[in-house]
Amino acid sequence: MSDSALPPVPAKKILAIVSGTGGSIYLNDILTHLPADFSAAIVIAHQAPNAITRMIVSNLPERYAKKCPFPISFVPADNWVQASNIYVCPLDHNLSLEAQSGGLVFRLAQSPGGPSFDTFLQSLAQTAGNHCVALALSGDTLDGAAGLQHIKDAGGIPVAIKPDLWTASAALANHLISQRIATKAIETKKLANELSTLVNQIPPIE
């Protein structure tokens, strides 16, 4: 890709969402309640360790195409990150971001166990720094904890859901909260509003 092929509207802010088993129920609350003036790009990395979650992830763009106020698609390899778009990392791939003079570019690499939350979030910290909010919805392991610490160190805002009785796979969220990596723990019923507020607080990429 050449720098002359600039994105129509490059993303100036990023909302990253990492999710494991049980996180899709919260994605529904977020994606269907976004305000009309939400200008950040949303990038979703969803792990799929079993047949059920693989089916969920493979159907995410189609499922929400008519429910979201913005376009939703699988991450286009080697393409620009555009504002007010929702991107889903495809199955069996690792995802990272690269900074170019015109904006941020997606990079994909095949990985049967992917995506790695830490790999994605570390690249986000390096390229977007304090221009991003990163949310951990769920996770059976601590993959993502180091990446969210990188986000925090870079001036971004790492957040986690506040687990309740209905939260599945809360190991990652509990760790982020107990170790004070997450700047904020958000109640599941308030995700869309709280995330919109946080995105409004971060500065845009100049």
Per-chain mean pLDDT for the chain:
91
- From 20-29, 148-157, 173-182, the region with the lowest mean pLDDT: 20-29
pLDDT reported for residue 183: 95
User: Span 134-150, mean pLDDT?
Assistant: 92
Question: What gap in Å lies between CA 61 and CA 88, rounded to an integer?
Answer: 7
Q: How confident is the model at residue 136 (pLDDT cuts 50, 70, 90)?
A: very high
pLDDT above 90: residue 14: yes
What pLDDT sits at residue 165?
A: 61
Residues whose CB is less than 8 angstroms from the CB of residue 117 and which lie 6 or more positions away in sequence, other chains included: 18, 45, 47, 136, 139, 143, 144, 147
Res 11 pLDDT > 80: yes
Mean pLDDT of 105-120: 94
* Inter-CA distances, 155 with 16, 75, 144, 152, 166, Å: 14, 25, 17, 5, 31
Task: Pull the structure tokens for residue 138.
Answer: 């769920």
Domains present along the chain, CATH in parentheses? 14-201 (3.40.50.180)
Chain segment 146-174, per-residue pLDDT in tens:
999 999 999 999 999 998 766 767 889 99
Q: What is the pLDDT of residue 101?
A: 87
pLDDT in tens, 31-90: 999 888 898 999 999 999 889 989 999 999 999 999 988 999 999 999 999 999 999 999
Q: What's the rounded Cα separation, in Å, for the pair 133 and 15?
A: 5
Q: What is the pLDDT of residue 3?
A: 47
Reading the block at residue 73, the tokens are: 């698609």
Report the pLDDT value the prediction gives residue 2, as an integer from 0 to 100. Answer: 42
Q: Three-state secondary structure along 82-123?
A: ECCCEEECCCCEEEEEEEECCEEEEEEEECCCCCCHHHHHHH
